[in-house]
Structure 1
Amino acid sequence: MRQPSRRPPLRLQTRPPGDEERPDAGEEAGAGAEVDARLPGVVRLQCVQDVPRFDMPLLLGSFRSSTCNAVAVSYGGQSYLLAPAAAVIYGGQVRVSLPGRDKPFPAKVAHLGLECELAALQVAHLGLECELAALQVESPEFWEALVPYELALDGLPHLQQPCSVVSYAEAQPRPRSLLGTVVRTEIVTYPSAMQRLLGMTVGVGLSRDQLGSAVVDAQGLCLGIVFGRTLGGKASGARKQGGRTGAGAGGDGSGERWGMGRRRVGRRRGRRGGVEASAAVVPVPVVTHFLEDISKHGRYLGFPTLGITWRRTESHALRAYAGMRPGQTGILIASINPTAPLAAVAQPLDVLAAVGGAAVDNDGTVEFRGGREKINIAYHISQFQVGDSVELTLLRQGEPRTVRLELGVPGRLLPVHLGGRPPSYLVLSGLVLTGLSGPFLEGAFGRAWPVRSPVQLLREWQNNPSAADEQVVVVAECQDLGPTSATDGYERRAVMHQRVVRCNGAPVRSLAHLAALVGEAQARADALGSGSGSGSGGGRQGGKGRKAAPAPAADAATTTIPASAAGGASDGADGNGDGNVNGSGAAGAAEAAGANGQPSIGNGPPLDERQLLLELSNRMLLVLPLQQAGEDTKAMLAEYEVEHPVSADLRPAYEAALQGGQAGAGAAGALAAGGKGAKGSRGGAKGRTG
């Protein structure tokens, strides 16, 4: 009996014309030319990341292994190796592999740009150890084996333009090319730094190992570098997984960054309700800005912003309130970051009408692609470099005025990232203090930190710093080290994740400022402790000598304090960010000194200089005896096997405060001890003669 004919499986069927994959990159090259014998500018990169514990800096971090691609590009006569920033940040070991070579090339991160999801690498000589000095030398052997891509500087690709994605996939010995289509070109939010820059979406299915691939056009010019992806699937499957259709929807453990929030970059619906696979790409204008910043300044400075929050002026009532005349366009400035250069020449309720000669419409857009399209004003501002001088046109009650300012990067009270630096910390008794940041909130409360974080910490997201060095200091850990410890009697959950508002009555500006205040207080306490011991000893020897002052108890203060003593703390400890702290800073400093010159809080009793008083954002006071706190700190460091009570970046300020406090308090302590000792000796003589 004749078997019925069956169609071959899909993987053996012939692809329709124009839909087949391109052959391996490099096979199309001719054998005669020397340049064609080299590989395209895409390499495989392997990195072992040592990610620290941001919520508890004393603990060891976790190791993560990632594999992605890196792209070699040529710009300004120099060659650069670019990789996704999220794949190499905190990279302890970075290796770059080439086909046909057994040993990989060691590399290091030379420039990290989390705002644009890019990192520039340096490659060392083959065979050298992965040392810092060796990684500073570029490897000629590595660059001789590659053909760096030329950037497509003639403009952005148009929609539905075909392109190719050249990358290494898993278990592929050579790079391959996949066909794709440009789906979207718009302003997107880059997840690592929540920076709004120009982005591009390409309709192509990629795996996790193919991040960092090169997107090229028909002429072989680089259109961008892939930094994210979106998995394809049916809409029903997405609903079963809670609506997650991004990289974290599957079971591969490659979830999206927390900064993406609810918006998934590159998500696109198919014809039948499914989600088509796509890739998020850093376009050429952003790549060239990153490279131009490195070439011009020698390091990456970032993308400038005006540091304002603005509102559209499409409402006739709002336009009349702002004093705009007919025919005038612009956006209304709602608030200005005090650290931004614009704060010196503008004020809220001013209207921004033009930036660098480009008119701003009422919806906050400027001309794009030669006036054929409109794009958000953030794109136009990001085209400038940090330090460039730009001309702005402002409207104040309808009167135009032109100002010129130097663009910069304003500070944030709650930084989204630490720029690849380890977290700073300060250990004081059983307390571990650190700076508030986005990685801290994610480590302490998980990826759902916008919902789970305390309200007093989330408020700092919208607040602006009053100074460039201002920082929110929070309690990362509170441990009770025993019944005699300085933190005994304080409830852990009442202290954890609270902001430190004041230290001994002085407003805390940053973690470095707090470390300096603690160092000065410890130096004064050590000097007073040695001086008072000698004086009291002389007094105790005589029967009629002066009695020594009683030592302060470890539980001298409780959480329930009188209204007079809590008055100074309630001004800036209500959790309202920098507004209350900065507003009551002068008053707090004035109230910190009592009538007798000793520090005090409000109308309360004067503070003992052998104690340290910390005011938290929940109106709680922590009174820590410094002598016992020093012993607790040593025990805390021995438990976590840490050498120093402060991080490396805070040690200069801390040690300088210790030395300065010892010098100043030593002289005062010597005078006081001499006077007390003389009185005590006279008292002892009287007792002996009697």
Structure 2
Amino acid sequence: MSSMDAVVKVFCVHTEPNFSLPWQRKRQYSSSSSGFIIEGRRVLTNAHSVEHHTQVKLKKRGSDTKYLATVLAIGTECDIALLTVSDDEFWEGVSPIEFGELPVLQDAVTVVGYPIGGDTISVTSGVVSRIEILSYAHGSTELLGLQIDAAINAGNSGGPAFSDKDKCVGIAFQSLKHEDAENIGYVIPTPVILHFIQDYEENGNYTGFPVLGVEWQKMENPDLRMSMGMGLKQKGVRIRRIEPTSPESLLLKPSDVILSFDGVDIANDGTVLFRDGERIGFSYLVSQKYTGDKALVKVLRNSKTLEFNITLATHTRLIPAHIKGKPPSYYIVAGFVFSAVSVPYLCSEYEKDYDAPVKLLEKHLHGMAQSVDEQLVVLSQVLVADINIGYEYIINTQVHAFNGKPVKNLKGLAYMVEKCDEEFLKFHLEYEQIVVLQTEKAKAATPDILTTHCIPSAMSDDLKA
């Protein structure tokens, strides 16, 4: 198989942010994974393979040379990264891998890569056992995915999955680790890969997969459908909530029933027809679009059918799934460390994000940003000093207001504290707690506390701008 020569081993040195001590980074570590060469002198791999990279090197099959690579784009939602190598020697004697069509059930697939257990290339084979909307672990999102029964192990990530026609039908990216499951691997299919590549080519960077900014419920109960004024043959899903930051919020309303998306009828369980009589979640239709594209949405409102031409946008989360390579934001006054909450922050503080306090978890799962720049700000920890005695027990508690003014984001809080000329700094926290310090004393105590903890600045660079 000549295509195997285009499969490369990816060596990455990662330096992750330290969310507990956001003014510094964690100790660097190395990883290896797989990737493959495509046309245009580019290499595809997984986003998680090069996340927080400080150096990326590639090695071809049968070569003893590692070539320095540049990361062109990282698609966090779809877990794909695009790399290139400036050294012309790397591209000699290699034919780029070509993409094939989306396979059907029972089609044979061969996964090629460099998994743990050896240094040479590895080949595992199986069949496509399922095609559906999958939860992408790295991206905290749901996109089309293939389930296969070929083994996918650590190091296989980013390697191609070939059809029996020697065409790439996907990228290996995760496997199911469960005591009741064996050999369940997942592959990012070609429609998702080509969407990522076209997005990068048209925009010069990765803009993301658009979403319909609504939460909906199934309409499988006949009494529910009758109460909503639906006809016997009408099918659809009811809108529960609408993201205030989404373009949809200007046109759609809660309790509208979405009947179709771009002319494709939606069933009462939220699925649409997919080839060969299969059904798939209608979010697949949305994810096929690009940011800024328009879509025709037909809804039933008060027993009347209405049509809206909606501009699609990416999702603005109250608690973002990623910080996209940026260092964490922080602000310190009198030993109080304030941070903006993200999913990586929760994972860092609680190992698994669902071990977080109930109030933060509820905001993570159900909270909606009221504006594009809204953040959930917490008092993450107290660096103990004489000035903050009695407050040292407070950790990861949301800050609602400062001196009676609501806290919209971390930058806003830092600005209000820095400009405060009132006698007291008064922070209103979750559960009606308040924290009060004398303004002059608090600001005077901050430099010594920073020096004690070897902290270079009272705030992160993004808050200084």
TM bracket, shorter-chain basis: over 0.9
Partner of 2:109: 163
Aligned partner of 2:181 in structure 1 is: 275
Gaps of 5+ in 1: 1-24, 27-37, 124-137, 232-243, 246-273, 526-608, 653-690
| Of 36, 39, 42, the match for 1:80 | 42
Q: Which stretches in structure 2 are left out of the alignment for 5+ residues?
A: none
Q: Does the CA-based 8 Å contact 2:49-2:158 persist in structure 1?
A: no
Distance, in Å, in 1 between the alignment partners of 2:369 and 2:409 is 11
Mapping of residues 588-607 of structure 1, within 5 Å: none
Is 1:376 aligned with 2:376? no
1:134-184 CA distance string (max 9 Å, x none): xxxx332222242211111xx321111112122234576653433221111
Mark the CA change 1:173 to 1:489 in structure 2 (over 3 Å): closer, same or farther. closer
3-state SS of paired residue (2:112): strand
Alignment of 1:56 onto 2:56: no
Match of 2:213 in 1: 307
| Structure 1 or 2: more helix by fraction | 1
Q: What secondary structure sits across from 1:516 in the alignment?
A: helix
CA displacement 1:359-407 (0-9 Å, x = unmatched)? 11111111111x6211101111100000101111011022111110110
Counterpart among 108, 125, 128 of residue 179 in structure 1: 125
Please state whether the residue corresponding to 2:165 is helix, strand or coil: coil
Letter in 1 for 2:389: D
The amino acid across from 2:207 in the alignment is L
RMSD: 1.9
Determine whether 1:416 maps to 2:381: no
* Richer in strand (by share): 2
Query: Do the aligned partners of 1:203 and 1:278 also contact (CA within 8 Å) in 2?
Result: yes
2:389 to 484, 488, 495: 488
Query: Rg: which structure is higher?
Result: 1
CA shift digits 1:443-490 (9 cap, x unpaired): 11222x42x3222212212021111111110011112212xx2x1232
Q: Is the 8 A contact 1:115 1:190 kept in 2?
A: yes
Could you say which residue in structure 2 is the equivalent of 1:322? 228
Separation (CA, whole Å) in 2 of partners of 1:350 and 1:335: 10
Q: Which is further off, 639-648 or 164-173? A: 164-173
1:474 maps to 2:378: yes
Is the CA contact 1:386–1:408 (under 8 Å) kept in the aligned structure 2?
Answer: yes
Cα pair 1:163 1:182 within 8 Å, conserved: yes
Confirm or deny: 8 A CA contact 1:56 1:477 kept in the other structure. Answer: no
* Partner in structure 1 of residue 402 of structure 2: 503
Aligned to 2:165: 219
Contact 1:43 1:96 in 2 (8 A): yes
Mapped partners of 1:95, 1:639: distance in 2: 39
On the 8 A contact 1:200/1:282 being kept in 2, the answer is: yes
Q: 1:477/1:99 Cα in 2 relative to 1: closer, same or farther (>3 Å)?
A: same
Deviations for 1:301-328, whole angstroms, at most 9, x for unmatched residues?
1111111111111111111221112211
Q: Please tell me whether residue 397 in structure 1 is matched to residue 302 in structure 2.
A: yes
Partners of 1:643 and 1:58 in 2: CA distance = 7
Query: Residue type of the partner of 1:372?
Result: G
Asked whether the 8 Å contact 1:39–1:146 carries over to 2, the reply is no
* 1:568-647 correspondence to structure 2 within 5 Å: 609-647=422-460
Pick the aligned partner of 2:52 from 86, 90, 100: 90
CA distance in 1, matches of 2:438, 2:412: 20
CA contact (8 A) 1:192 1:417 kept: no
The Cα offsets for residues 55-83 of structure 1, whole Å up to 9 and x where unpaired, read as 33135413232111012223xxx343111
What SS does the aligned partner of 1:318 have? helix
Partner amino acid, structure 2, of 1:457: L
- 8 Å CA contact 2:61, 2:121 repeated in 1: no
Asked if the contact 1:49–1:89 (Cα under 8 Å) also holds between the matched residues in 2, the reply is yes
Q: Tell me the distance in 1 between the aligned counterparts of 2:22 and 2:114.
A: 36
SS in 1 for 2:432: coil
Moved more, 199-208 or 52-61: 52-61
CA shift for structure 1 position 46: 1.0
Residues 173 and 460 from structure 1, CA distance in 2 versus in 1: closer, same or farther, beyond 3 angstroms? closer
Structure 2 match to 1:68: 33
Moved more, 48-57 or 401-410: 48-57
Structure 2 equivalent of residue 516 of structure 1: 415
Give the match for residue 268 of structure 2.
Answer: 362
Is the Cα contact below 8 Å between 2:235 and 2:267 reproduced in 1? Answer: yes
State which of 116, 140, 157 in structure 1 corresponds to 2:78. 116
Partner residue in 2 for 1:142 = 90
* Contact preservation (8 Å) 1:59, 1:640: no
Per-residue deviation, 1:348: 0.3
Q: Deviations over 1:200-239 (max 9, x none)?
A: 11211243122221111122110000011246xxxxxxxx
CA–CA separation in structure 2 for the residues paired with 1:637 and 1:145:
56
Between the aligned partners of 2:193 and 2:152, the Cα distance in structure 1 is: 21
Percent identity for Structure 1 against Structure 2 = 31
Q: How far apart in 2 are the matches of 1:334 and 1:649?
A: 36
Shift in alpha-carbon separation, 1:107–1:632, aligned structure 2, 3 A: farther
Q: Are the counterparts in 2 of residues 416 and 438 from structure 1 also a CA contact under 8 Å?
A: yes
In 2, the alpha carbon distance for the partners of 1:325 and 1:644 equals 63
Counterparts of 2:434 and 2:116, CA distance in 1 = 57
Contact 1:188 1:199 in 2 (8 A): yes
Contact 2:6 2:60 in 1 (8 A): no
Native 8 Å contact 1:52 1:62 kept in 2: no
Looking at structure 2, the residues matched to 176 and 510 of structure 1 have their Cα atoms a distance apart, in angstroms, of 48
The answer to which of 623-632 and 464-473 deviates more is: 623-632
Is 2:197 the counterpart of 1:291?
yes
User: Equivalent residue for 2:290?
Assistant: 385
Q: How many pairs are equivalent?
A: 464
- TM, length-normalised to structure 1: 0.65
Evaluate the alpha carbon distance shift between residue 465 and residue 206 of structure 1 in structure 2; reply closer, same or farther with a 3 A threshold. Answer: closer
**Is the CA contact (8 Å cut-off) linking 2:7 and 2:60 kept in structure 1?**
no
